[in-house]
Amino acid sequence: MEAILDKIIKEKEKRLPSLKEEAKNINDVVMKKISFLNVLEQSDDVVIIGEFKRASPSKGDINICNPEDKIPYYEKAGCGCVSILTEEKFFKGNFSDLKRGRELIDIPILCKDFIIDKCQIDLAKANGANVILLIFKILDDDKFKELYEYAVSKGLEVLCETADEKEVGRALKFNVPIIGINNRNLNNFNVSFEKLERLVKYAKSGGAYIVSESGVKTAEDIKRIRELGCSAVLIGETFMKSENVVETISNIRGY
Protein backbone atom coordinates (compact mmCIF):
# COMPACT_ATOMS: atom_id res chain seq x y z
CA MET A 1 0.00 0.00 0.00
CA GLU A 2 1.28 3.45 -0.87
CA ALA A 3 2.18 5.47 2.23
CA ILE A 4 0.07 8.55 2.95
CA LEU A 5 3.15 10.77 2.89
CA ASP A 6 4.05 9.56 -0.61
CA LYS A 7 0.57 10.44 -1.83
CA ILE A 8 0.85 13.92 -0.33
CA ILE A 9 4.22 14.57 -1.97
CA LYS A 10 3.00 13.32 -5.36
CA GLU A 11 0.07 15.72 -5.13
CA LYS A 12 2.38 18.57 -4.11
CA GLU A 13 4.64 17.86 -7.09
CA LYS A 14 1.61 18.09 -9.38
CA ARG A 15 0.78 21.48 -7.93
CA LEU A 16 4.29 22.92 -8.20
CA PRO A 17 3.86 24.46 -11.69
CA SER A 18 0.83 26.48 -10.57
CA LEU A 19 2.54 27.44 -7.30
CA LYS A 20 5.58 28.66 -9.24
CA GLU A 21 3.35 30.78 -11.45
CA GLU A 22 1.64 32.21 -8.39
CA ALA A 23 4.99 33.01 -6.81
CA LYS A 24 6.11 34.94 -9.90
CA ASN A 25 3.40 37.51 -9.24
CA ILE A 26 4.41 38.42 -5.69
CA ASN A 27 6.72 41.16 -4.54
CA ASP A 28 9.42 40.54 -1.93
CA VAL A 29 7.45 41.75 1.06
CA VAL A 30 9.05 43.59 3.96
CA MET A 31 7.22 42.17 6.97
CA LYS A 32 7.37 43.19 10.59
CA LYS A 33 9.75 40.80 12.35
CA ILE A 34 7.78 38.55 14.70
CA SER A 35 10.12 35.94 16.12
CA PHE A 36 9.09 32.52 17.38
CA LEU A 37 12.63 32.04 18.68
CA ASN A 38 12.14 35.07 20.92
CA VAL A 39 8.94 33.54 22.26
CA LEU A 40 10.80 30.31 23.10
CA GLU A 41 13.70 32.18 24.70
CA GLN A 42 11.44 34.29 26.91
CA SER A 43 8.99 31.60 28.03
CA ASP A 44 9.31 29.91 31.41
CA ASP A 45 6.87 27.13 30.45
CA VAL A 46 5.98 24.97 27.47
CA VAL A 47 4.85 27.24 24.63
CA ILE A 48 1.58 26.15 23.05
CA ILE A 49 1.29 26.34 19.28
CA GLY A 50 -2.38 26.29 18.27
CA GLU A 51 -2.97 24.81 14.84
CA PHE A 52 -5.62 25.68 12.27
CA LYS A 53 -6.38 22.64 10.12
CA ARG A 54 -9.73 21.68 8.66
CA ALA A 55 -8.91 18.07 7.86
CA SER A 56 -6.17 15.43 7.91
CA PRO A 57 -5.46 12.18 6.06
CA SER A 58 -6.01 10.13 9.22
CA LYS A 59 -9.13 11.87 10.54
CA GLY A 60 -10.83 13.20 7.41
CA ASP A 61 -12.82 16.38 8.03
CA ILE A 62 -12.11 17.79 11.51
CA ASN A 63 -13.82 21.18 11.39
CA ILE A 64 -14.62 22.94 8.12
CA CYS A 65 -14.54 26.47 9.47
CA ASN A 66 -13.00 29.86 8.74
CA PRO A 67 -9.81 31.32 10.26
CA GLU A 68 -11.93 33.83 12.19
CA ASP A 69 -13.61 30.99 14.06
CA LYS A 70 -10.42 29.76 15.73
CA ILE A 71 -7.25 31.77 15.17
CA PRO A 72 -8.04 34.91 17.25
CA TYR A 73 -8.93 32.69 20.21
CA TYR A 74 -5.53 31.00 20.09
CA GLU A 75 -3.86 34.34 20.72
CA LYS A 76 -6.47 35.30 23.33
CA ALA A 77 -5.79 32.05 25.22
CA GLY A 78 -2.06 32.75 25.38
CA CYS A 79 -0.67 30.57 22.59
CA GLY A 80 2.83 31.66 21.63
CA CYS A 81 2.44 30.80 17.96
CA VAL A 82 -0.23 29.71 15.48
CA SER A 83 0.33 27.00 12.87
CA ILE A 84 -1.74 27.26 9.69
CA LEU A 85 -2.00 24.36 7.23
CA THR A 86 -1.67 25.47 3.62
CA GLU A 87 -1.76 21.98 2.01
CA GLU A 88 -4.83 21.87 -0.22
CA LYS A 89 -6.03 18.34 -0.93
CA PHE A 90 -5.46 16.35 2.25
CA PHE A 91 -5.71 19.12 4.86
CA LYS A 92 -8.07 21.49 2.98
CA GLY A 93 -5.87 24.52 3.63
CA ASN A 94 -4.57 27.32 1.42
CA PHE A 95 -2.42 30.43 1.44
CA SER A 96 -5.52 32.60 1.83
CA ASP A 97 -5.93 31.12 5.32
CA LEU A 98 -2.37 32.17 6.07
CA LYS A 99 -2.98 35.70 4.82
CA ARG A 100 -6.19 36.00 6.83
CA GLY A 101 -4.47 34.64 9.92
CA ARG A 102 -1.81 37.35 9.67
CA GLU A 103 -4.58 39.97 9.62
CA LEU A 104 -6.18 38.49 12.74
CA ILE A 105 -3.24 38.09 15.15
CA ASP A 106 0.08 39.63 16.18
CA ILE A 107 1.91 36.51 17.36
CA PRO A 108 4.22 34.35 15.18
CA ILE A 109 2.64 32.25 12.44
CA LEU A 110 4.03 28.93 11.23
CA CYS A 111 3.27 27.95 7.64
CA LYS A 112 2.65 24.21 7.92
CA ASP A 113 3.04 22.46 4.60
CA PHE A 114 5.09 19.89 2.73
CA ILE A 115 7.72 22.24 1.35
CA ILE A 116 9.84 20.91 -1.49
CA ASP A 117 10.53 24.09 -3.50
CA LYS A 118 11.61 27.70 -2.91
CA CYS A 119 8.39 29.02 -4.43
CA GLN A 120 6.46 27.68 -1.43
CA ILE A 121 8.76 29.65 0.87
CA ASP A 122 8.15 32.81 -1.16
CA LEU A 123 4.39 32.28 -0.95
CA ALA A 124 4.58 31.58 2.78
CA LYS A 125 6.42 34.83 3.42
CA ALA A 126 4.21 36.89 1.09
CA ASN A 127 1.13 35.68 2.95
CA GLY A 128 2.41 36.49 6.41
CA ALA A 129 4.37 33.52 7.76
CA ASN A 130 7.21 34.08 10.22
CA VAL A 131 8.20 30.42 10.45
CA ILE A 132 8.12 27.58 7.92
CA LEU A 133 8.19 23.82 8.40
CA LEU A 134 10.88 21.71 6.73
CA ILE A 135 10.45 17.95 7.03
CA PHE A 136 13.61 15.85 7.00
CA LYS A 137 11.70 12.76 5.86
CA ILE A 138 10.92 14.33 2.48
CA LEU A 139 14.22 16.18 1.93
CA ASP A 140 17.74 14.89 1.42
CA ASP A 141 20.59 16.86 3.01
CA ASP A 142 21.34 18.96 -0.07
CA LYS A 143 17.71 19.95 -0.56
CA PHE A 144 17.23 20.66 3.13
CA LYS A 145 20.31 22.90 3.18
CA GLU A 146 19.13 24.76 0.07
CA LEU A 147 15.64 25.41 1.42
CA TYR A 148 16.79 26.14 4.98
CA GLU A 149 19.34 28.73 3.87
CA TYR A 150 16.86 30.28 1.44
CA ALA A 151 14.23 30.65 4.17
CA VAL A 152 16.72 32.22 6.57
CA SER A 153 17.88 34.61 3.83
CA LYS A 154 14.26 35.73 3.52
CA GLY A 155 14.07 36.53 7.23
CA LEU A 156 12.08 33.43 8.15
CA GLU A 157 12.68 31.01 11.00
CA VAL A 158 12.47 27.26 10.46
CA LEU A 159 10.91 24.44 12.46
CA CYS A 160 12.90 21.37 11.37
CA GLU A 161 10.78 18.25 11.74
CA THR A 162 12.27 14.88 12.65
CA ALA A 163 10.70 11.48 13.16
CA ASP A 164 13.53 9.15 14.24
CA GLU A 165 17.10 9.01 15.53
CA LYS A 166 18.64 9.32 12.07
CA GLU A 167 16.68 12.48 11.31
CA VAL A 168 17.52 14.00 14.70
CA GLY A 169 21.17 13.31 13.90
CA ARG A 170 20.79 15.16 10.61
CA ALA A 171 19.19 18.12 12.39
CA LEU A 172 22.06 18.22 14.89
CA LYS A 173 24.56 18.12 12.03
CA PHE A 174 23.01 21.29 10.61
CA ASN A 175 22.98 22.89 14.09
CA VAL A 176 19.40 24.14 13.67
CA PRO A 177 17.88 26.12 16.57
CA ILE A 178 14.39 24.53 16.54
CA ILE A 179 13.84 20.79 16.20
CA GLY A 180 10.36 19.32 15.95
CA ILE A 181 9.73 15.71 16.94
CA ASN A 182 6.63 14.33 15.26
CA ASN A 183 4.82 11.89 17.50
CA ARG A 184 2.93 10.72 14.42
CA ASN A 185 4.20 8.04 12.06
CA LEU A 186 4.06 9.78 8.67
CA ASN A 187 3.58 6.50 6.83
CA ASN A 188 0.39 5.46 8.62
CA PHE A 189 -0.31 8.60 10.75
CA ASN A 190 -0.54 6.65 14.04
CA VAL A 191 0.62 8.48 17.19
CA SER A 192 3.06 7.28 19.86
CA PHE A 193 4.65 9.27 22.70
CA GLU A 194 7.25 6.56 23.32
CA LYS A 195 9.22 7.86 20.38
CA LEU A 196 9.20 11.37 21.87
CA GLU A 197 10.61 10.09 25.15
CA ARG A 198 13.33 8.26 23.25
CA LEU A 199 14.36 11.18 21.06
CA VAL A 200 14.11 14.29 23.26
CA LYS A 201 17.38 13.89 25.16
CA TYR A 202 19.29 13.27 21.93
CA ALA A 203 17.63 16.20 20.19
CA LYS A 204 18.41 18.54 23.10
CA SER A 205 22.10 17.59 23.12
CA GLY A 206 22.91 20.27 20.54
CA GLY A 207 21.15 23.04 22.45
CA ALA A 208 18.09 23.30 20.18
CA TYR A 209 14.59 24.12 21.35
CA ILE A 210 12.39 21.02 21.03
CA VAL A 211 8.80 21.11 19.76
CA SER A 212 6.54 18.11 20.38
CA GLU A 213 4.19 17.69 17.42
CA SER A 214 0.89 15.79 17.13
CA GLY A 215 -1.45 13.76 19.30
CA VAL A 216 -1.61 15.94 22.43
CA LYS A 217 -5.08 15.92 23.99
CA THR A 218 -4.89 16.30 27.78
CA ALA A 219 -3.24 18.15 30.64
CA GLU A 220 -1.48 14.86 31.45
CA ASP A 221 0.06 14.89 27.97
CA ILE A 222 1.32 18.44 28.54
CA LYS A 223 2.70 17.47 31.96
CA ARG A 224 4.60 14.59 30.37
CA ILE A 225 5.97 16.86 27.63
CA ARG A 226 6.96 19.48 30.22
CA GLU A 227 8.82 16.87 32.29
CA LEU A 228 10.69 15.66 29.21
CA GLY A 229 12.05 19.17 28.73
CA CYS A 230 10.31 20.15 25.49
CA SER A 231 10.11 23.88 24.83
CA ALA A 232 6.84 23.85 22.88
CA VAL A 233 3.96 21.65 21.84
CA LEU A 234 1.89 21.86 18.66
CA ILE A 235 -1.81 20.99 19.06
CA GLY A 236 -4.34 20.92 16.24
CA GLU A 237 -7.21 18.45 16.29
CA THR A 238 -8.06 18.91 19.98
CA PHE A 239 -8.44 22.68 19.57
CA MET A 240 -10.19 22.48 16.20
CA LYS A 241 -12.85 20.20 17.69
CA SER A 242 -13.33 22.32 20.81
CA GLU A 243 -16.43 24.49 21.12
CA ASN A 244 -14.60 26.77 23.57
CA VAL A 245 -10.95 27.03 22.56
CA VAL A 246 -9.93 29.45 25.32
CA GLU A 247 -11.30 27.13 28.01
CA THR A 248 -9.78 24.05 26.37
CA ILE A 249 -6.34 25.67 26.19
CA SER A 250 -6.56 26.72 29.84
CA ASN A 251 -7.54 23.18 30.86
CA ILE A 252 -4.88 21.48 28.79
CA ARG A 253 -2.17 23.82 30.11
CA GLY A 254 -3.15 22.72 33.60
CA TYR A 255 -3.48 26.14 35.22
Mean pLDDT score across all residues of the chain: 94
Q: Three-state DSSP class for 67? A: helix
Longest dimension (CA), the chain: 48
Residue 141 identity: D
Q: What is the pLDDT of residues 162-174, one digit of tens each?
A: 999 999 999 999 9
**CA gap 145, 206 in Å, rounded:** 18
Query: CA dist 228 to 105, 214, 225, 232, Å?
Result: 30, 16, 5, 11
Q: pLDDT > 90: what percent of the chain?
A: 86
Q: pLDDT > 70: what percent of the chain?
A: 96
Q: Are strands 209-213 and 131-135 parallel, antiparallel or unpaired?
A: unpaired
pLDDT of residue 33: 85
pLDDT of residue 4: 87
Q: What is the pTM for the complete model shown?
A: 0.95
Q: Which CATH number fits domain 4-253: 3.20.20.70, 1.10.580.10, 3.40.920.10, 3.40.50.300?
A: 3.20.20.70
Contact 218, 239 (CB under 8 A): no
- 254 or 247: which carries more pLDDT confidence? 247
- Is 63's pLDDT higher than 70? yes
- CA atoms within a 13 Å half-sphere pointing along the CA-CB vector of 66: 4
Average pLDDT over residues 41-62: 95
pLDDT band at residue 255, thresholds of 50, 70 and 90? Answer: confident
**CA gap 194, 37 in Å, rounded:** 26
Beta-carbon contacts of 123 under 8 Å, excluding residues fewer than 6 positions away, are 19, 22, 23, 26, 86, 95
